[in-house]
Amino acid sequence: MTKNCLKRMAVLLLCGALSLGLFTGVGLAAETIKIGVAGAHSGDLASYGIPSMRAAQLVVDQVNAKGGVLGKKVEIIAEDDACKPEIATNTATKLVSQKVDVVLGHICSGATKAALGIYKDANIIVMSPSATNPDLTQSGGYPNFYRTIASDDAQAKLDVEFALNVLKLKKIAVIHDKGDYGKGFAEFAKKFLEESGKAEVVLFEGITPGAVDYSAVIQKVKRENAEAVIYGGYHPEASKIVGQMRNKKMNTIFISDDGVKDDTFIKVAKEDAEGVYASGPKDTSSNPLNVAAVKAHRDKYGEDKGAFFENAYSATLALVNAIEKAGSTDYNALSKALKSEWVETPIGKISFDQRGDAIGAGFSVYQVKGGKFVEVK
Amino acid sequence: MSWDYFIELFLGGLTRGSIYALIALGYTMVYGIIELINFAHGEIYMIGAFTALIIASVLSLFGMHQLVVLVLAVVLAVVYACAYGFTVEKIAYKPLRKAPRLSVLISAIGMSLFLQNYVLLAQTSDFLPFPKLIPDFEFWEPYSHIISSQELTIIATTVVVMILLTFLIKFTTIGKAMRATAQDKIMAALVGIDVNHIISITFIVGSATAAIGGVLIASHIGQINFFIGFIAGIKAFVAAVLGGIGSIPGAVLGSLVLGWTESFFTGYISSDYEDVFAFLFLVFILIFRPAGILGRSQTQKV
């Protein structure tokens, strides 16, 4: 008897919950188009994520000022993932439950990978301005994923070619931080170096992020007489390694990825940063759309744009454009529009290939000169 | 295999060990007295480093000499960290003096999280550049490629701090009271020792060493953020256990052993599994000497 009672109550509750969910879903979807923005908005990697949130806001403000898309206003729902895979799954679930139509994010590759499955199950298109792990597009496991940044292998290829053909190096040590992003980059760099046959990889090692001292690895680099270190990882460790190498009076060339091409790196490593090479998105600062975007950022926030700002701005433009061209936020229609339509963005005129990589977005090598990253021509 | 390389790794391990030791000393002293693993200790180290950064930035504005800045920054960092250590004990541990040990432990973890987030909110989540407070000694220039003057300073400071602490504990009245409190709190109180006072002093001394460590280490690696206390704290704690928690020479020895293990393993095998190997080694030592290298085994007080 009591069992039956309980069952009936449960069914009633379930019905109630379902109908409520249905109503709110319908009610809100009619009002706005929701763009979820996920990334590191707090924590030690916030400097990678906040610029994207601002970029999305600027684009959305502009779109809304012109009356929105498909007659609806666009709304931003920001969720923080602190660049941590274990938090990113929660972030994704939250965004899905808030019924976002598309997602701009996530920022870090590890977090993006962790979150993608959840969006895929919910048929939501995700576009990252910064997740460069090759697997995300090349594995074929995430058909809902797009990005406005070239992948690590493109970046590793560029760095390796630069080291071999411009710097003419023969002995290179490859070091990484054991993370998805850093190790992925380092493995590609090693592969390309070995395939070229022009240089020798004298060392391939992972370091522990957050350690108090890297002198043992640095001694190893020294013992192997490496002319250069190619480092895959983020700026906090990079500045420690460069600093300790210079302390040991080593002039080893340091080449790294766009995790290091961040002004915080120069701020922290100070004079030791001079001469460091890092690849990063192509300099498109003279593009008129970019100039306007940067100016809008300066007017609204009163400071300089941060990392991946242009990529995020472009991604938001591409998403809004695709929604407009597709005439709806339906998954299939959006996919088709993203892959067929070209859109003018701050990083150039872009579209997306079958795997979701942006056509028209690329990398350049930069060098720190006089406390600034300067593109190496 | 060359000797140069061996010596460089040895010195690298010595530096790393000394870094751990400066933090491990605080852990071991507090444990010796009240048998509490003070998880907030790493945060005191971090606060010391932050204080020094703020002081150094302000003083550099006035264009003071580097040595003056260093001394003032260290002194003020020590004062500040001691105040924090003292307050943490009064707020989080003293009211729980009679509570089960697990409660105090949880209080310590809570304090650690609180202090981390407090600095995160009050300061910033970014990595901040830390000025090179320790100058490059001119007389040391010819050897600085083997071991830099900063590393030398860290090693020397650890030795001095260890000697001073040993002296404090062995030969002063306070030290005598500390040893008495460590042995038996009730008996110590009966013979007229103010136990609470002694515990406060222990926290202050431990915080002072952590702050000195914080300044030197931050100056060595050139950057700080709110999270540095956690990893350094865990490693130092492991070192203290390895050496025999509660013993001061043990903390230093354990730290050096841990530093050398990591350095040689990285140098001769690979840094990929540096931590794995360091902890495996810890497990091995604890299998054969459960109380740590210099620890005295004692029956558990329940």
Q: Which one-letter DSSP state was computed for residue A176?
A: E
Condensed to tens digits (0 to 9), the pLDDT of residues B105-144 reads: 999 999 999 999 999 999 888 889 898 888 877 777 777 7
Cβ-contact B232, A208 below 8 angstroms = no
CA distance A241 to chain B (A): 9
**Which has the closest alpha carbon to A235: A363, A41, A47?**
A47
Residue A36 has a pLDDT of 94
A266 touches chain B (CB under 8 A): no
Number of A–B residue contacts, CB under 8 Å: 103
Which residue on chain B is closest to A236 by alpha carbon?
B127
For all residues of chain B together, what is the average pLDDT?
89
Q: Inter-chain contact B19–A212, Cβ cutoff 8 Å?
A: yes
**Identity of the residue in A210, A211, A215 whose CB atom sits nearest the CB atom of B15:** A215
Contacting residues of A for B274, CB less than 8 Å apart: 207-208, 211
Element (H, E) at B181: helix B173-183
Q: Which residues does residue A359 pair with via DSSP β-bridges, in sequence order? A: A351
Domains of chain A plus CATH, in order, are 31-149+286-361 (3.40.50.2300), 153-257 (3.40.50.2300)
Q: What contacts A112, CB < 8 A, 6 or more positions away?
A: A88, A105, A106, A126, A128, A131, A133, A136, A145
Which residue on chain B is closest to A209 by alpha carbon?
B231
Identity (one letter) of the amino acid at A109?
Answer: S
Proportion of chain A above pLDDT 90, given as a percent: 52
Q: Which one-letter DSSP state was computed for residue A357?
A: B
CA distance B123 to chain A (A): 12
A198 touches chain B (CB under 8 A): no
Condensed to tens digits (0 to 9), the pLDDT of residues A122-140 reads: 999 999 999 988 888 888 8
Residue A18 has a pLDDT of 47
A174 touches chain B (CB under 8 A): no
Q: Which two three-digit tokens encode residue A277? A: 């090479």
Give residue for tokens 């540095």. Answer: B228
Contacting residues of B for A225, CB less than 8 Å apart: none
Cβ-contact B25, B209 below 8 angstroms = yes
What's the mean pLDDT in B237-243? 90
pLDDT at A235 over 50: yes
What's the mean pLDDT in B252-258? 93
Cβ-contact B240, B27 below 8 angstroms = yes
Which residue on chain A is closest to B234 by alpha carbon?
A211
Give CA–CA dist A330/A102, Å, rounded.
10
A82 touches chain B (CB under 8 A): no
Proportion of chain B above pLDDT 90, given as a percent: 50
pLDDT at A247 over 90: no
**Identity of the residue in B223, B228, B267 whose CB atom sits nearest the CB atom of A268:** B223
Give CA–CA dist B50/A289, Å, rounded.
41
What's the mean pLDDT in B78-100? 93
Contacting residues of A for B271, CB less than 8 Å apart: 205-208, 216-217, 220
pLDDT at A14 over 90: no
Longest dimension (CA), chain B: 61
**pLDDT band, residue A7 (cuts 50/70/90):** low
Contacting residues of A for B2, CB less than 8 Å apart: 223
Which residue on chain A is closest to B141 by alpha carbon?
A249
Cβ-contact A74, A60 below 8 angstroms = yes
For residue B57, with 0-12 CB atoms within 10 Å meaning exposed, 13-18 middle and 19 or more buried, which class applies?
middle
**Identity of the residue in B12, B222, B271 whose CB atom sits nearest the CB atom of A206:** B271
Give CA–CA dist B302/B292, Å, rounded.
20
For residue B163, with 0-12 CB atoms within 10 Å meaning exposed, 13-18 middle and 19 or more buried, which class applies?
exposed
Give CA–CA dist A128/A138, Å, rounded.
15
Q: Which one-letter DSSP state was computed for residue B180?
A: H
pLDDT at A214 over 60: yes
Helices marked H in chain A — which ranges? 2-29, 46-65, 85-97, 109-121, 135-138, 152-161, 180-196, 215-223, 235-247, 263-269, 288-301, 309-326, 331-340
Contacting residues of B for A220, CB less than 8 Å apart: 266-267, 271
Q: Inter-chain contact A243–B222, Cβ cutoff 8 Å?
A: yes
Q: Phi and psi at residue B298, in whole multiples of 5°?
A: -135, 155
Condensed to tens digits (0 to 9), the pLDDT of residues A304-351 reads: 888 889 899 999 999 999 999 998 889 999 999 999 999 989 988 899
A307 touches chain B (CB under 8 A): no
DSSP code string of B261-293: HHHHHHHHT-STTHHHHHHHHHHHHHHH-TT-S
Residue ranges of chain B whose CB lies within 8 Å of a chain A CB: 2, 5, 8-9, 12-13, 15-16, 19-20, 125-129, 144-145, 148, 150-151, 217, 220-223, 225-228, 231-232, 235, 262-264, 266-267, 270-272, 274-275
A195 touches chain B (CB under 8 A): no
Q: Which two three-digit tokens encode residue A230? A: 């190619």
A230 alpha carbon, distance to own chain's centre? 20
What's the mean pLDDT in A108-135? 92
Q: Inter-chain contact A210–B231, Cβ cutoff 8 Å?
A: yes
CA distance A214 to chain B (A): 9
Q: Inter-chain contact A212–B221, Cβ cutoff 8 Å?
A: yes
Q: Which residues does residue A69 pair with via DSSP β-bridges, in sequence order? A: A72
Residue of B9, B14, B126 best to disrupt the A interface, most CBs of A under 10 A: B126
**Which has the closest alpha carbon to A81: A130, A124, A9?**
A130
Q: What contacts A304, CB < 8 A, 6 or more positions away?
A: A297, A298
C-alpha dihedral, A339 to A340 to A344 to A346, nearest 10°:
10
In terms of DSSP bridges, do strands A277-281 and A253-256 run parallel, antiparallel, or are they unpaired? Answer: parallel
Contacting residues of A for B126, CB less than 8 Å apart: 44, 46-47, 264
Q: Inter-chain contact B227–A44, Cβ cutoff 8 Å?
A: yes
pLDDT at A21 over 70: no
For all residues of chain A together, what is the average pLDDT?
87
